[in-house]
Amino acid sequence: MSYKEFDLFNPTEEHKMLRETVAAFCASEVEPQAHEFDKKEEFNLPLFKKLGDLGLLGITAGSDFGGSEMDAVAAVIAHEELSYSDPGFGLAYLAHAMLCVNNINVNASDEIKSRILPKLCSGEWVGAMAMSEPHMGTDVMGMKTQAVKNGDHYVLNGQKMWITNGATDENKTPADVVLVYAKTGEKNGRALVSTFIVEKGFSGYSVGQKIQDKLGMRASNTAELVFDNCKVPVSNLVGNEGDSMLHMMRNLEIERLTLAAQSIGIARRCIEVMSKYSEERQAFGKSLSFFGQIQNYIGTSYAEYKSAKAYVYDTARRMDLSSHSGRLDSDGVKLVASTMAKNVADRAIQVLGGYGYVGEYHVERLWRDAKLLEIGGGTIEAHQKNITRDLSKHLVL
C-alpha cells in the first residue's frame, strides 16, 4: 500500500520521513526476527536498544531531556509501522515510550526528568509502568499496594501484575525504571493514589513470576513485580501525594491512541497478505479473488481498516499531549480499531485456510496479538462505559 495520503497520515515532511525511516528499520531489522522471538517468548533487548539510535524511545519527550519532542501523529506512525511487522515488539516499545517516558515527561519535575529521561530515551534503561494488580485491573481504587512515608523515603509494599517490560530478560532482571501507582492514605473518605519512580537496585524491588504461555504478544515480556518494604526516596514521588488520577488521565489518551495504532498496523499487514494470497492461489481453475466470499472478506476488511485508520489519525492530529482533553475519542479509536484488527486477522486466516493457521504467513501470530488490544489499556467494555458517560455530559457530535 502506498503512502500518498500525506494530508492525514503524513501531515508534514517530518512525519513522512519518520514513517519511511521506521518502515525501513522494520523491514531490515524487525521483520527477520519476529517469528523467532514470538516462538521463543523472548524480548529482543539488543534490537530494542537500537530504537534509541533512531530517536524513537523518547519520541514525545522534550529535547532538553534527550527526546525527539514529536507529536501524537508521530507516535501513531511509529506504533503502526512497528506493529506491521511485530506487534509484540511494538507493545514493549509502547510500554517504554508511552507508559513510562511520556508519562514522566508530562507529569514529573525537571529534576526527575533531567536525571531519568536521557537514559530512557537513549535505550540505556528500559522503562515500564505498574498499575494492575493480581485482583484488580481497571478498578484503580481497588489497588492494595501502599506507600508509607518514613522520614526521607517511602516504604512501598504490594504486588503488580501483567506488567509489560516488568522483566527485561530470561533471568528476571527487573525494568530499570518503573512508574508505580500506590495508595498513600485517604482524604474525605477517598483513597489517595500517588505515583512513584522505582529504580533497579532499590531494596525490596524484584520480579515475582514471569508470565509465560500467553496467547499473543509473546515478544514482549510480561511479569509480576513485587515490592517488599521497598525504600523509595521522597524525591522519587512524582508531583504530590494523591496526584495519580491526574497523571493517569493525562497519559491514558496517548496510551489508547497508540494501542489503536498497533491495530492499524496489524490490519494493514493482514489485508496485504490475504489480498496477495487470493490472487496467487487458485481453486477450480480460478484465483481465489474471483469468488464472492473471498471478495467479501477482503473488501469488508479494507473498508473497516481505512475507516478506523482515518479515525485514529484524525484523533492524533487533534491530541494535545500536554493536556487531558480527548478521552472521548481516545476511547473511541481503541474501541473501534482493536475489534477491527481482530476481525481482519480472523478473515485473513479464513482466506488462507490451512496456511493461515500456521506461522509461515504471519496472520496467525497477528490474530493472537490482536486479541490483547481488546483487553490491555482498558477493555472494550470500559471504553463503551466511558464513551456513554462522556456523551451524557457533553453531547457534541
pLDDT in tens, the chain (397 residues): 454 545 799 999 999 999 999 999 999 999 999 999 999 999 999 999 999 999 999 999 999 999 999 999 999 999 999 999 999 999 999 999 999 999 999 999 999 999 999 999 999 999 999 999 988 766 777 899 999 999 999 999 999 999 999 999 888 999 999 999 999 998 887 889 999 999 999 999 999 999 999 999 999 999 999 999 999 999 999 999 999 988 888 889 999 999 999 999 999 999 999 999 999 999 999 999 999 999 999 999 999 999 999 999 999 999 988 776 668 999 999 999 999 999 999 999 999 999 999 999 999 999 999 999 999 999 999 999 999 999 988 665 6
- pLDDT number for residue 1: 47
Question: Quick one: cell of 108?
Answer: 514529573
Among all residues, which ones are annotated catalytic? 255
CATH number (3.90.1180.10, 1.20.140.10, 3.40.50.10190, 2.40.110.10) of 128-242 reads 2.40.110.10
Which residue has cell 472521548? 328
3-state SS track over 3-53 = CCCCCCCCCCHHHHHHHHHHHHHHHHHHHHHHHHHHHHCCCCHHHHHHHHH
Where do the DSSP E strands lie in the chain?
127-130, 146-150, 153-164, 177-187, 190-199, 205-210, 222-233, 237-238, 282-283, 286-287
pLDDT per residue as tens digits for the range 306-347: 999 999 999 999 998 877 666 899 999 999 999 999 999 999
Residue 179's DSSP bridge partners are 129, 197
Phi-psi domain of 64 (left: phi exceeds 0; alpha: psi -120 through 50; beta: other)? alpha
| Phi and psi, residue 110, nearest 5° | -60, -35
Give the amino acid at 119: K
pLDDT per residue as tens digits for the range 271-318: 999 999 999 999 999 999 999 999 999 999 999 999 999 999 999 999
Q: Judging by beta carbons within 10 Å of its beta carbon (0-12, 13-18, 19+), is residue 77 exposed, middle or buried? A: buried
**CATH code at 13-126:** 1.10.540.10
List Cβ neighbours of 8 (8 Å cut-off, separation of 6 or more). 310, 313, 314, 317
Question: Quick one: cell of 290?
Answer: 474471483
Strand 177-187 relative to strand 127-130: parallel, antiparallel, unpaired? parallel
Q: How do the domains of the chain map onto residue ranges? A: 13-126, 128-242, 245-393
**CATH code at 245-393:** 1.20.140.10
